[in-house]
A and B are shown apart, each in its own frame.
Chain A
């Protein structure tokens, strides 16, 4: 049923006629079955198409008889895929027109649908975004060889969508052959962004560099690349002048400075440059002089010893960066070089110090200068005192992430950072909406205060690193703290919990976390009840990932229907039995139930717990590229079928 848009003019339309104003932004809403309305809304405006469910489509006895050219024109204003999905449900001809005009496709689980189906449905795709492995793959919980191969997608797109220009992949296995295929198949390829991907080498990068004549963006974010050498950069042809963004920060080997300098000289549109650690501080100076228009900069190593003249030159180069908004890199930054950055601080909206292992005292003046900062990523070396400075200086702060410097040795906690740091920031920064905070311990009182201060939080990820750590002042579980968070922060979409938690905490989350879409849990809870609360209570739950919790079959089987409304569920080191997995699978044909277990399952008793289970909804059925250690009910365990249908 259509929502009421107060600024809209309602025009009733009789069958076969319609009045359209082409200079306006038009949105179309259908109310089933009759009457039919067209809303004309002056642009610009943000609007939401109220969607029909697929149930309505059968009731609609006639379409609006809009000529498809007209509809195409209207659809060219409809950007959001959510709206386009609604449009495609109206009737067959609208489905056809929409699918032929959709330019950007997002597939948030590469196994939810087949590449061929996507390529066939959207032949005019210009931009494809794909995600592969589950999120916990970032923390080594998904064994190598599990899947997430990009090849079948690239192959399908090369065959059916040759106008593809942009490819964004996250947590996928990308081989050199994939990169070569991209270079060879898409004539106007412009954007390649690989996040947390692996499987390729610098040779593959060379293939992209040499062939993509109109390349705009090449970004490798935290990828694991087989680094054969820095030559790949020299493969960018002299004719390439379109580069806007280059990020090779995850590579190890040195690129030739002269290649980089020449590239920068002929890239007047370059806005974002993220260097790798091997680029020296000395080199940075000359690079900055060639690209003073940069908006985003990731430096290389910040620790060479420079003479006074070089330092002065570098300082000058930084002060020339008038457009700079984002700064990262800063590996091994020596305290004496931090003042070099002062000139850019007032303009910064984003500062990533997560590799800068400097002490709090060195950071204070830097932070004080960043009055426009919206995003800050920093090590816990900043301590409570440093976070107080953040609270008083960075009033525009929206996102804070604090990483654990002592992570590689849990006993090493000489850092004076406690829950108080986060409390200060929650008090001082009115726009704070996203938090990722690693610390050794926490208290309920702190969380209650934070929730009271910041009911506008949308993302709260607290990682108390000591598993099962209670409130360190009261020794109570952290149930009450998380209760305050979910109760007060009504728009909370993402939550990670930790510390000592009982089933009560999950009861609270189930009761109050109505907008929660993603939830991460580790070492928590007492029993199955925990999962039951979550699955039955959290209406918007989309992704749930759990490790090392004592929960098992009952809640899973009881709430099986819920799983079809979610994108995915991950559980590792819990108490789900082999028998339950076998029961679950035939119940839910639209789910893939994958058991990921190193020990052979053929001889397992039904009661034995499985190591990991990954359940996701899919239209594509069981995948064909499962390795030996992934078991689904469709695979015959005796034969041990597994075929790797990938390159």
Chain B
């Protein structure tokens, strides 16, 4: 398991009271809640219950001016006609995937490459095609321009 933070408190020596301040890595794990050491994901830290977390999320979105809908185009690889989706209606990656799986009538996942499933990718504001799921959801909403559901082998 990779330690993605440059800082490790797990020293066996006595306490160093001048420890540098830690910036917590908020990368999001999707198929499984993150359990790598020192990674507090935005899904499980701080320890608040789901309903409160969702309420705060939507509050956050509203504060950032996401009152209006966020329609983006979604294409399934090999299918010329795409769909349009309002990303602001989803609370996170899970609900997005569920909806896409329903819309395209196939299992859509992100993250792990798999021979069986369609993998979701997106084009960010720089024009690059990226794997969906690596960054926190609200960051994703700010940068996503379009979605593509690829066939597994191409990834």
Contacts and interface: CB of A to CB of B under 8 A. Distances in A.
B9 A468 contact: yes
A550 B10 contact: yes
Contact of A222 (B12, B33, B43, B49): B49
B65 interface: no
B32 A138 contact: no
Interface stretch (A3-11, A402-410, A508-516): A402-410
- Residue picked from B1, B19, B33, B49, most chain A C-beta under 10 Å: B33
B57 to A, nearest CB: 5
A528 to B, nearest CB: 10
A548 interface: yes
A143 B12 CA distance: 31
A526 B12 contact: yes
Interface stretch (A81-89, A444-452, A470-478, A631-639): A470-478
A522 to B, nearest CB: 7
A625 to B, nearest CB: 19
A600 B33 CA distance: 16
A250 interface: yes
Interface in B46-96: 46-53, 55-57, 59-60
Given A354-B52, A550-B10, A139 B44 contact: yes
Contacts of A147: none
A248 interface: no
* Interface size class of chain B, counting residues whose CB lies under 8 Å from the partner chain: 35 or more
Interface in B98-142: 138
A354 B43 CA distance: 19
B35 A573 contact: yes
A139 B33 CA distance: 10
Contacts of A438: 46, 48
A113 to B, nearest CB: 28
A97 B132 CA distance: 62
A284 to B, nearest CB: 19
Contact of A463 (B47, B49, B59): B47
A467 interface: yes
Interface string A314-345: 00000000000000000100000000000000
Interface in B1-57: 1, 9-12, 14-15, 17-19, 21-22, 24, 26, 31-33, 35-40, 42-53, 55-57
A579 B26 CA distance: 30
B6 to A, nearest CB: 13
Interface in A378-428: 403-405, 407-410, 412
Given A500-B19, A526-B10, A572-B35, 12 more contacts: A222-B50, A355-B52, A407-B56, A408-B56, A410-B24, A412-B60, A466-B24, A467-B38, A526-B14, A527-B12, A550-B37, A574-B37
Interface of A: 136, 138-143, 196, 222, 224, 250, 331, 354-355, 357, 403-405, 407-410, 412, 438, 463, 465-470, 475-477, 500, 502, 522-523, 526-527, 548, 550, 572-575, 598, 609, 611-612
7 contacts: A141-B44, A408-B42, A410-B46, A465-B45, A522-B45, A550-B37, A572-B35
